[in-house]
Amino acid sequence: MNTEAAAYFSRELLGWYRENKRILPWRMNRDPYRIWVSEVMLQQTRVDTVIPYYERFMEKFPTAAALAEAPEEEVLKAWEGLGYYSRARNLQAGASEVLERHGGVVPDNKDAVSSLRGVGPYTAGAIMSIAFNRPEPAVDGNVMRVLSRFFCLEDDIAKPSTRVKIEKLAQSLIPEGAAGDFNQALMELGALVCTPKSPGCLTCPVMAHCEGRMAGKEHVLPIKTKAKPPRPETRLAALIVGSGEHAGKVLVRQRQSSGLLARMWELPHVMGPTEPFGSAARSKGRGRRKSIAAAGTEVSGESLLTADSTAAAAEGTEPPFLQTTQQQGIAPGGGGLVAGGAGTIGADADRQTAHAAHVDMLCRELFAQDGLLVRPTGWWGEAEHVFSHIVWDVQVYRAEFGYWLAEESALEKPDYGGSAVNGDSQLAAESGVSYETGNAEEGAATPPQYRWIGLEQMRELAFPNVFLRLLRDYWETADGFTD
DNA sequence: AAACCGTGGAC
DNA sequence: TGTCCAAGGTT
């Protein structure tokens, strides 16, 4: 590579940055903890989205020690809505390591920083360079785009090997004693000028020697293979409003310790029919009639039984409300988030049939998986939720609480994690209402991952956005007298 | 290497 | 309305 061009690039870019850098909350000082938090929040997340979260987070957890000692629930709540929630739990785990192994001080040592949970090659480089001015590269999407264009690199930036290659290049470009500013300059240029769609070459400080532009490839670079589209899933959720001592409260549950939305709270729900049903599927005109006819006409047929519910039937744990539910049919519920959308009598009939099949499945699976017996009373609404790799079509049904199956009969016992560090397992005991019995003779204790909550407890528990929207909509429209 | 992990803005 | 993708990390 041309040493002259490299020196030019670094010099001009650094000069440009020092004149044009944005004022951002994490640029107030070089406190490595503040830098660390900002870099984790900024992973796959835009600056404008991060700023308010960052301000609140730093006020609540101003030091690594404060973060380490906070209840996990509070940390997740502070992260609620930001997404990629393992970032929050990893950050707290990292803070605990810093507290225990480094006396609460983020170490000025690349290997030590890299070993922290949730700190990968980019974040380690960012912390080392920005907080400690160490000459380490910090290669993110911006950097790969900027360098791909300037040096006209046609490697696929979706490949891990490309990041490694660009890291070496980036490190070679760091000006003496200016690692922090230079790395930030690279990212700032990518964010403000050398943007993905329409790069602002005319205002670019290094346009004159940009090989990508000189080759007329500024709109083609960087090369990046397309991501696989997310797979559709139908989710059947239960909006269970309590009566008696739980009047006006809703039954929610906490997800297990790993995987999607780990440790977040949600409405109880189960996987629906494989064929999509909701608005997303309808708008694409895919397989609607077929799936509904197949699922609906034979409500209690073998085709609907999963392995779990078949096992439940074999063990005599078939939910007793099923037959009653089917005979009653499903009446349209009120307060839906999304209008039905079916314009014809026939479509309405199809919807009713699909709802009946959903209700059957929801009832069976909640009973089989969690020993929770409910009686659905009507369709309530739906919501779409797009993850990176999945699209949920959530169909929400209102239901009345029946009872909890005695614990000995529970068919599955997933890991719900109770963190030893922060004493989550004490939450149930502190709440004082976790083990009361249901209202049926068979009634057993509420399982530890479930809670009855009112609107007030929404402030304490962290929900992913899809359930946040559904629950807020419920609290707004609930009349407080029925159910 | 490839899949898994959220969410919202911009165009 | 669909598509891209953002200061990525873990498994």
Whole-number Å distance, CA A229 to C1' C4? 12
User: pLDDT digit of tens for each residue in chain A (483 aa)?
Assistant: 678 888 999 999 999 999 999 999 999 999 999 999 999 999 999 999 999 999 999 999 999 999 999 999 999 999 999 999 999 999 999 999 999 999 999 999 999 999 999 999 999 999 999 999 999 999 999 999 999 999 999 999 999 999 999 999 999 999 999 999 999 999 999 999 999 999 999 999 999 999 999 999 999 999 999 999 999 999 999 999 999 999 999 999 999 999 999 999 999 999 999 865 544 344 332 222 222 222 222 222 222 223 333 334 434 455 554 433 333 333 333 333 333 333 344 677 788 888 889 999 999 999 999 999 999 999 999 999 999 999 999 999 999 999 999 866 555 555 554 433 333 332 233 233 233 334 445 678 899 999 999 999 999 999 999 999 999 999 988 754 344
Q: Are A95 and A36 in contact (CB under 8 A)?
A: no
CA dist A43 and A46 (Å) reads: 8
CA-closest candidate to residue A398, choices A323, A473, A297 = A473
Q: Is the CB of A121 under 7 A from strand C?
A: yes
CA triple A423-A431-A418, angle to 5 deg = 30
Say whether both A263 and A184 belong to one domain: no
pLDDT at A412: 54
CA dist A267 and A64 (Å) reads: 33
Residue A158 in any domain: the answer is yes
Say whether both A245 and A276 belong to one domain: yes
Domain end, chosen from A214, A245, A273, is at: A214
Structure-block tokens of residue A187: 């990212």
CA-closest candidate to residue A201, choices A217, A187, A185 = A217
CA dist A475 and A456 (Å) reads: 10
CA dist A232 and A350 (Å) reads: 20
Structure-block tokens of residue A469: 């929207």
CA dist A13 and A210 (Å) reads: 12
Residues 40-59 of chain A in contact with strand C via CB under 7 angstroms: 42-47
Whole-number Å distance, CA A48 to C1' B10? 13
Q: Is the CB of A393 under 7 A from strand C?
A: no
Which bases along strand B come within 7 Å of a protein CB atom? 1-11
Alpha helices in A61-103 (DSSP H): 64-69, 72-79, 86-102
Whole-number Å distance, CA A275 to C1' C2? 21
CA dist A37 and A82 (Å) reads: 13
Residues 427-466 of chain A in contact with strand B via CB under 7 angstroms: 464-466
Neighbours of A66 (CB within 10 A): 15
CA-closest candidate to residue A40, choices A96, A97, A79, A98 = A79
Structure-block tokens of residue A417: 């994690």
Say whether both A75 and A148 belong to one domain: yes
Q: Which nucleotide lies nearest residue A188, CA to C1'?
A: C7
Structure-block tokens of residue A397: 């049904």
Neighbours of A278 (CB within 10 A): 23
Structure-block tokens of residue A207: 């346009």
Structure-block tokens of residue A184: 């930030």
Residues 2-21 of chain A in contact with strand C via CB under 7 angstroms: none
Say whether both A388 and A460 belong to one domain: yes
Q: Are A266 and A252 in contact (CB under 8 A)?
A: yes
Domain count, chain A: 2
CA dist A257 and A452 (Å) reads: 20
Q: Are A438 and A401 in contact (CB under 8 A)?
A: yes
Residue A220 in any domain: the answer is no
Residue A344 in any domain: the answer is yes
Say whether both A310 and A439 belong to one domain: yes
Residue A483 in any domain: the answer is no
Say whether both A163 and A242 belong to one domain: no
Half-sphere exposure of A411 (CA within 13 A, CB side): 21
Say whether both A120 and A155 belong to one domain: yes
Say whether both A200 and A289 belong to one domain: no
Say whether both A206 and A245 belong to one domain: no
pLDDT at A334: 36
Q: Is the CB of A118 under 7 A from strand C?
A: yes
pLDDT at A1: 63
Residue A295 in any domain: the answer is yes
Structure-block tokens of residue A290: 């077929």
Say whether both A280 and A307 belong to one domain: yes
Full residue range of the structural domain in which residue A13 is found = 3-214
Residue A51 in any domain: the answer is yes
Write out the catalytic residue numbers of A: 39
Whole-number Å distance, CA A370 to C1' B3? 28
pLDDT at A423: 32
Say whether both A300 and A236 belong to one domain: yes
Say whether both A186 and A278 belong to one domain: no
Q: Which nucleotide lies nearest residue A184, CA to C1'?
A: C7
Domain end, chosen from A172, A188, A214, is at: A214
Whole-number Å distance, CA A145 to C1' C7? 13
Residue A26 in any domain: the answer is yes
Q: Annotate A357-405 with three-state secondary structure.
A: HHHHHHHHHHHHHHCEEEEEEEEEEEEEEECCCEEEEEEEEEEEEEEEC
CA-closest candidate to residue A365, choices A315, A402, A310, A416 = A310
Which bases along strand C come within 7 Å of a protein CB atom? 1-10
Q: Residue with CA nearest C11 C1'?
A: A259
Beta strands across the sheet bearing A372-386: A269-271, A231-240, A390-404, A372-386
Residue A224 in any domain: the answer is no
Neighbours of A72 (CB within 10 A): 20
pLDDT at A420: 33
CA triple A151-A203-A13, angle to 5 deg = 50
CA dist A108 and A174 (Å) reads: 19
Whole-number Å distance, CA A308 to C1' B1? 34
pLDDT at A318: 54
Instruction: Report the CATH number at residue A59.
Output: 1.10.340.30
